[in-house]
Amino acid sequence: MLSATATITYKSQAYQFNPLQPLDISLQLRAGSDNVNCFWAEPVQVDTITVGSFVGSVALGGSTNYQRVHLTPHGNGTHTECYGHISPDPAATLDKCLTRFLFVTQVVSVMPQRQENGDLVVLAEDVISRLSLENLPEALVLRTLPNIDTKRTAQYSGTNPTYIEPALAHFLADNGVEHLLLDLPSVDREEDGGELLAHHAFWQYPAATRVASTITELIFVPDAVVDGLYLLNLQVTSLVLDASPSKPVLYALTPLADS
């Protein structure tokens, strides 16, 4: 039976993890409407390509399956975005911003709070109170409560879903947390007049843009993944765009006593 262990050191502390025990926190994408969806994106489409007598479907008599996928990264499923999402700079693309893919991360579960206007908001103080200010991670994974399974196929468009308080984005940027992952359609309110306060605060755009920082939205963190420290492998495609479908994977970290 195959087994393995590996170690990393972060801020002078050594940790052990098992690379054969990945914890996938991305959402699957399939053809049709049985996917999470937001911002009025069209459902994912998968079309069979036909060229002359060739049919790209073994089921229809073709020699191979050969299909075209139509999707919207920001609206269909788990995706990672860079500051190009709010910048007119054509060079602000994820392939240039995200050049490292392993990060020490902390999973934090938090209950959004109902505001006077009826909005559900993840408050800065509720998240910060669960972090060690002396040992902040490189990345933060937010799991909102209750952690219901319907998040996997939620149709968020027009529902004014939960978002984060801009003060939280300010805190993360000011304290060097480079990557934010959350199980929400956006860090900002669905309709906010184009202000995008949390996006701007997290990237510190345009005054002191954090070009290597990313936001990953529409993840799903299963209940079996307990709050704590993990190694994050942030996998994306090589699309030259501001965002890409992504597959964040966690590996539980165990501190080594003799470090």
Question: Per-residue pLDDT tens for 69-112?
Answer: 999 999 999 999 999 999 999 999 999 999 999 999 999 999 99
Look at residue 12 and tell me if it is in a domain: yes
The pTM of the full predicted model, rounded to 2 decimals, is 0.97
pLDDT of 82? 98
Range of the domain at 92: 6-28+76-255
Determine the pLDDT at residue 123.
98
Q: What is the pLDDT of residue 94?
A: 98
- Let me know if residue 173 belongs to a domain: yes
What CATH number does the domain containing 163 carry? 3.50.30.50
**Measured CA distances, 67 to 44, 159, 216 (Å):** 13, 33, 27
Average pLDDT, the chain: 97
Q: Is residue 80 part of a domain?
A: yes
pLDDT class for 4, splitting at 50, 70, 90?
A: confident
* Mean pLDDT value of segment 131-135: 93
- Residue 136: pLDDT band (50, 70, 90) is very high
Distance of CA 1 to the CA centre of its chain: 33
Judged against a pLDDT cut of 90, whether residue 3 lies above it is answered with no
Work out the average pLDDT over 113-128. Answer: 98
Predicted confidence at residue 14, as pLDDT, reads 97
Contact present, 3 and 239 (Cβ < 8 Å): no
Is 129 within the bounds of a domain?
Answer: yes
Asked if residue 142 is part of any domain, the answer here is: yes
Which pLDDT score, from 0 to 100, does residue 259 have? 55
Mean pLDDT within 232-254: 98
- The answer to the question of residue 60 being in a domain is no
Total domains, the chain: 1
Cα 23 to Cα 120: distance, rounded to the nearest angstrom: 28
Whether pLDDT at 252 is above 60 = yes
Q: How far apart are CA 205 and CA 245, in angstroms?
A: 23
Q: Note the pLDDT of residue 1.
A: 65
Between CA 157 and CA 30 the distance in angstroms is: 19
Backbone angles phi, psi at 17, to 5 degrees: -150, 160
Q: Is residue 65 a part of any domain in this protein? A: no
Instruction: Assess if residue 41 is contained within a domain.
Output: no
